């Protein structure tokens, strides 16, 4: 983690309405507002727009698709680097034909890969722009929500529990405020904050009157004035220093391991061929060029283009379903998931919570009075909440939106103090006075926690509570006591309460939830529910949906179990009820250690830890800031059916990528093994270097239709993984089978047709194109080709077109230029027969190969990838992102001129 220091006030260049945090922290609140040119009512909208034009957006990233970045990633492929080196050596050694052919391969691969990936990046950019991150801001004296990137110095913002601090802020007011600053300081304990000016030291940890961009409000609430935005904020400087690099996914690591396998095979085969040709006293340059052609020929040159095309196709399909994948390669991670832990609200239920009833606990309280107490025990100001429910939790929003709340008169009540909700206490308490009378303490929260604080609870309350839980209702308990003489309250004052009654809410199950769960089950994904609700409520919802539960674990039971015991219990249980954020993350971690790839879907503040702990974090556009920032995938519609579509798309992409890998490595290995053997036995080269590369170019071009190919249903029912051992075994079985028919072709040309070198090369060129192109129809499926598994029209047309072109070239006017001689007609009849026999033999070999125990999917290794702190910084920085290019790193923009800004943080 970078070591941070607050910059000296005099070192940082100033813009209108700006100051440094070190300076702002030491000034009284009124003077800070004065120097920022603001006031307690915030900025005027016109002034805010002017400042935004002056200082630029509050952003540290751009999600604008960059053509140069995409091109750089394409050119960084090890396979393409090998091609470029070979082209340069060929040109240096005087073989212009080889150099041109390799250059064409490079252009085709880079061009196709760039086009498809750039289109996918543009699609991701459009989706990213639809995901909004909002902040509650005072503009023109009115509280409103604006995008976080539109904040400017001088804005006055309101923050509550769970909010991500949107800029560097000087506190104006605060109540029980604790802030998690671990993303900046590495300290895991929350820091207490207070508006009082600081004196003396100006180290980051000592600025208790300030909040910093990217940190999280863990408890309490506050208002504050924005001091610094974008790259001038402390978090912004770190994010800019990290650049745009992202940690590699499992799919990318698999591609890297596959590239190492190809490199090993290419080096061994090329070295042996070159040494053998030198021992046979062949010309050195000719031997070197032939060896280089073999090295290039054994690699699937268009693999980067195939992967990019697959990702682009998947991104477009997911975009139609309103799924935002923050990184394209996360699509494969989504397909790898086999355990999904999700919250209940909005996924299994409609997510539209409605207030249904107020049930008094005794005869002395009317339903109306109980509702009034519930309205009083909210964190919002009463007059504001009656007008707008912005920033309230869903239950309080439903309470204020109810028809009965219209009669509430906020002017009758004065709130003296409040203890905000937190996930440990699970309740909110207020100290209120009615019409200037004595104070009263009102507490509202989860029934279990509130009842534990009550005295003389009526005997029928538990039965009433069970009845509501059994009906699937969400219930909040309200209790109170007299608090005469008190002007402030602490958590220790929440005692000796009298239960006033229960507030009942309803969130109905989704009509399509059952179908979505069936779809996930068909995909081999085990769905588990983690909720803060009562266990009976969760069980009722599952029962209504016809979900067979494997059991329920409550938060108390989770806490009592050791890691080993919980790991075993979590694999069986289907519902985790009344679990804390830490318990959710612990459950996710132990499920991963059990060998599963675990996805977590959540949208609340208490879901952030679990989202970070999961292999694939999934959230929704309406989620809290913390949840969206921790997620890898954001659903613009909160629907498990949409998620199932995303899983299938990820698996389809992986399946089609593996088709190309298996076909390319086995066919290429067979052809190059044949060429190596023939070059030692024959008195001439079996195929010229340029012919080898042309063969591969035609063959690979035909396979660019693979990303759009159909995938058999059984390939989607379980996740697949990179298995280098499987690829190696496949290559060493089907490669020699290909070589067997190559040798048959050699014998036919030499002994039946007495072929000269030009005829020999033409015959093998055609046979090679036909066999290695048509084998895709056998390799693309474990079923019987065509009869039980039909390829896509695009793949069929492309493959047959390549075979036709491969036959045409040795017969065309270009034959002489390419080094081919005309072939006798009987050869084509023999070719047809050999091709049919080859495909039949491959089909039998395929059945034998996949029937062996060694080829069954391996058990997933129980390995948890370690995530560095930069992983979280990169995720958090994504919310401070604009769709337009930002100024250069470390520069401030003013009046159209760029000025260098000096900072004193060091990494």
Joined together, the tokens standing for residue 369 give 């009075």
Mean pLDDT of 100-106: 74
561: helix, strand or coil = coil
Answer left, alpha or beta for residue 57, where phi above 0 means left and psi between -120 and 50 means alpha.
Answer: beta
Q: How confident is the model at residue 6 (pLDDT cuts 50, 70, 90)?
A: very low
What pLDDT is recorded for position 242? 59
What pLDDT is recorded for position 110? 76
Residue 671 or 35, more confident:
35
Q: How confident is the model at residue 500 (pLDDT cuts 50, 70, 90)?
A: very high
CA 547, 551, 553, 558 dihedral sign is negative
Share of the chain above pLDDT 90, in %: 26
815-848 tens-digit pLDDT? 988 889 999 999 999 999 999 999 999 999 998 9
Sheet holding 427-434, edge to edge: 354-360, 498-506, 474-482, 439-445, 427-434, 413-419
Residue 899 or 348, more confident:
348
Q: How confident is the model at residue 121 (pLDDT cuts 50, 70, 90)?
A: low
Res 904 pLDDT > 50: no
- How far is the C-alpha of 81 from the C-alpha of 257, rounded, in Å? 16
Residue 739 or 296, more confident:
739
Mean pLDDT of 52-67: 79
Share of the chain above pLDDT 70, in %: 82
Res 223 pLDDT > 70: yes
Res 174 pLDDT > 80: yes
583-594 tens-digit pLDDT? 888 899 888 887
Q: How confident is the model at residue 85 (pLDDT cuts 50, 70, 90)?
A: confident
Res 148 pLDDT > 80: yes
- How far is the C-alpha of 228 from the C-alpha of 238, rounded, in Å? 14
Residue 344 or 413, more confident:
413
Would you say 74 and 114 are in contact if contact means Cβ atoms under 8 Å apart? Answer: yes
- How far is the C-alpha of 312 from the C-alpha of 308, rounded, in Å? 6
Joined together, the tokens standing for residue 230 give 């974008």
Exposure class string for 676-696: b at 16+ Cβ within 10 A, else e? bbbbeeeeebbbbbbbbbbbb
Res 390 pLDDT > 80: no
Q: How confident is the model at residue 328 (pLDDT cuts 50, 70, 90)?
A: low
Mean pLDDT of 129-144: 82
Q: Which long-range contacts (CB under 8 A, 24 or more apart) does 307-311 make?
A: 307/113, 307/255, 307/657, 308/74, 308/112, 308/113, 308/114, 308/116, 308/117, 308/120, 309/112, 309/113, 309/116, 309/704, 309/707, 310/653, 310/656, 310/657, 310/707, 311/116, 311/117, 311/120, 311/653
- How far is the C-alpha of 575 from the C-alpha of 569, rounded, in Å? 11
Res 861 pLDDT > 50: no
Q: Are strands 575-577 and 526-531 parallel, antiparallel or unpaired?
A: parallel
What pLDDT is recorded for position 886? 46
Res 892 pLDDT > 70: no
- How far is the C-alpha of 210 from the C-alpha of 222, rounded, in Å? 11
155 is catalytic: no
What pLDDT is recorded for position 459? 85
What pLDDT is recorded for position 158? 93
Res 862 pLDDT > 50: no
pTM as predicted = 0.68
Q: Which residue has the tokens 């494969």?
A: 332
614-639 tens-digit pLDDT? 888 888 877 766 677 677 788 877 77
What pLDDT is recorded for position 888? 34
Mean pLDDT of 39-53: 91
- How far is the C-alpha of 530 from the C-alpha of 538, rounded, in Å? 9
The end-to-end CA distance of the chain, in Å, is: 8
418-433 tens-digit pLDDT? 888 877 788 999 999 9
Which helix (DSSP H) or strand (DSSP E) does residue 474 occupy?
strand 474-482
Q: How confident is the model at residue 129 (pLDDT cuts 50, 70, 90)?
A: low
Catalytic residue among 343, 396, 625, 742: 343
Q: CA 223, 225, 227: angle at the middle one, nearest 5?
A: 145
What pLDDT is recorded for position 204? 73
Average pLDDT, the chain: 80
């Amino acid at each position: 983690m970078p070591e941070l220091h607050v910059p000296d006030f005099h070192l940082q260049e100033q813009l209108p309405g700006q100051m440094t945090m070190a300076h702002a922290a030491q000034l009284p609140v009124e003077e800070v507002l004065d120097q920022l040119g603001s006031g307690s009512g915030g900025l005027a909208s016109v002034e805010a727009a002017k400042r935004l034009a002056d200082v630029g957006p509050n952003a540290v990233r751009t999600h604008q698709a960059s053509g140069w970045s995409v091109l750089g990633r394409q050119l960084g492929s090890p396979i393409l680097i090998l091609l470029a080196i070979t082209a340069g050596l060929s040109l240096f050694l005087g073989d212009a034909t080889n150099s041109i052919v390799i250059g064409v391969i490079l252009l085709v691969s880079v061009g196709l890969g760039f086009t498809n990936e750039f289109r996918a990046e543009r699609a991701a950019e459009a989706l990213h722009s639809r995901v909004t991150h909002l902040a509650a801001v005072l503009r023109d004296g009115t509280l409103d929500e604006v995008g976080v990137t539109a904040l400017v110095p001088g804005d006055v913002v309101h923050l509550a529990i769970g909010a991500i601090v949107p800029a560097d802020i000087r506190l104006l007011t605060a109540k029980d405020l604790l802030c998690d600053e671990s993303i900046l300081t590495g300290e895991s304990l929350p820091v207490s904050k207070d508006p009082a000016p600081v004196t003396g030291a100006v180290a980051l940890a000592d600025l208790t009157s300030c909040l910093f961009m990217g940190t999280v409000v863990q408890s309490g609430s506050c208002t504050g004035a924005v001091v610094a935005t974008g790259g001038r904020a402390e978090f912004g400087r770190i994010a800019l220093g990290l650049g745009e690099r992202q940690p590699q996914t499992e799919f990318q690591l698999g591609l890297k391991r596959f590239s190492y396998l190809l490199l090993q095979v290419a080096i061994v085969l090329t070295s042996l061929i070159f040494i053998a040709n030198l021992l046979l006293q062949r010309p050195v340059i000719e031997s070197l060029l032939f060896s280089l052609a073999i090295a290039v020929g054994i690699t699937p040159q268009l693999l980067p283009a195939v992967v990019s095309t697959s990702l682009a196709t998947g991104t477009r399909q997911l975009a139609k379903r309103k799924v935002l994948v923050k990184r394209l390669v996360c699509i494969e991670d989504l397909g790898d998931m086999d355990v999904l832990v999700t919250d209940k609200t909005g996924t299994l239920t409609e997510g539209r919570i409605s207030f249904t009833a107020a049930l008094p606990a005794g005869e002395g309280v009317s339903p109306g009075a109980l509702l009034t107490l519930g309205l009083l025990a909210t964190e919002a100001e009463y007059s504001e909440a009656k007008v707008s429910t912005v920033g309230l939790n869903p239950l309080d929003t439903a309470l204020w939106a109810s028809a009965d709340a219209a009669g509430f008169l906020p002017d009758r009540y004065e709130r003296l103090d409040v203890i905000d909700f937190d996930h440990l206490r699970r309740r909110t308490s207020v100290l209120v006075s009615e019409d200037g009378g004595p104070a009263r303490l009102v507490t509202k929260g989860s029934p279990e926690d509130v009842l534990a604080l009550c005295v003389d609870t009526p005997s029928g309350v538990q039965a009433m509570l069970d009845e509501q839980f059994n009906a699937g209702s969400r219930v909040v308990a309200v209790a109170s006591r007299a608090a005469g003489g008190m002007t402030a309250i602490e958590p220790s004052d929440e005692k000796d309460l009298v239960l006033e009654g229960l507030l009942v809410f309803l969130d109905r199950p989704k009509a399509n939830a059952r179908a979505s769960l069936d779809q996930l089950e068909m995909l081999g994904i085990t769905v588990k529910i983690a909720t803060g609700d009562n266990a009976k409520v969760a069980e009722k919802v599952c029962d209504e949906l016809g979900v067979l539960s494997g059991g329920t674990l409550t938060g108390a039971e989770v806490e009592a179990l050791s890691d080993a015991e919980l790991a075993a219990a979590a694999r069986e249980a289907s519902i985790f009820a009344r679990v804390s954020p830490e318990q959710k993350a612990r459950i996710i971690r132990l499920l991963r250690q059990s060998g599963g790839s675990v996805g977590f879907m959540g949208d609340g503040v208490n879901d952030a830890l679990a989202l970070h702990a999961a292999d694939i974090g999934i959230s929704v556009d309406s989620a809290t800031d913390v949840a969206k920032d921790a997620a890898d995938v954001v659903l613009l519609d909160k629907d498990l059916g949409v998620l199932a579509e995303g899983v299938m798309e990820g698996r389809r992409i992986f399946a089609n990528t593996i088709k190309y890998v298996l076909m390319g490595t086995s066919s290429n290995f067979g052809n190059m093994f044949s060429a190596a053997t023939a070059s030692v036995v024959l008195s001439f080269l079996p195929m010229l270097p340029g012919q080898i590369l042309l063969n591969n170019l035609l063959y690979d071009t035909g396979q660019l239709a693979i990303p759009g190919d159909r995938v058999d249903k059984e390939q989607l029912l379980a996740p697949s993984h990179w298995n280098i051992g499987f690829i190696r075994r496949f290559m060493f079985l089907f490669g020699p089978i290909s070589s067997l028919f190559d040798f048959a072709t050699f014998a036919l040309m030499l002994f039946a047709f007495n072929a000269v070198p030009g005829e020999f090369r033409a015959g093998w060129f055609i046979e090679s194109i036909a066999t290695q192109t048509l084998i895709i129809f056998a390799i693309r499926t474990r079923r019987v080709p065509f009869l039980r598994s039909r390829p896509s029209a695009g793949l069929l047309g492309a493959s047959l077109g390549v075979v036709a072109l491969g036959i045409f070239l040795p017969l065309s006017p270009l034959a002489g230029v390419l080094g081919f001689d005309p072939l006798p007609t009987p050869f084509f009849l023999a070719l047809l027969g050999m091709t049919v026999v080859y495909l039949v033999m491959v089909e039998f070999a395929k059945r034998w190969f996949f029937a062996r125990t060694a080829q069954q999917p391996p058990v997933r290794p129980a390995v948890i990838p370690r995530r560095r702190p930069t992983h979280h910084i990169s995720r958090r920085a994504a919310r401070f992102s604009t769709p337009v290019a930002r100024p250069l790193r470390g520069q401030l923009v003013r009046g159209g001129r760029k000025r260098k800004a000096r900072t004193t943080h060091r990494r």
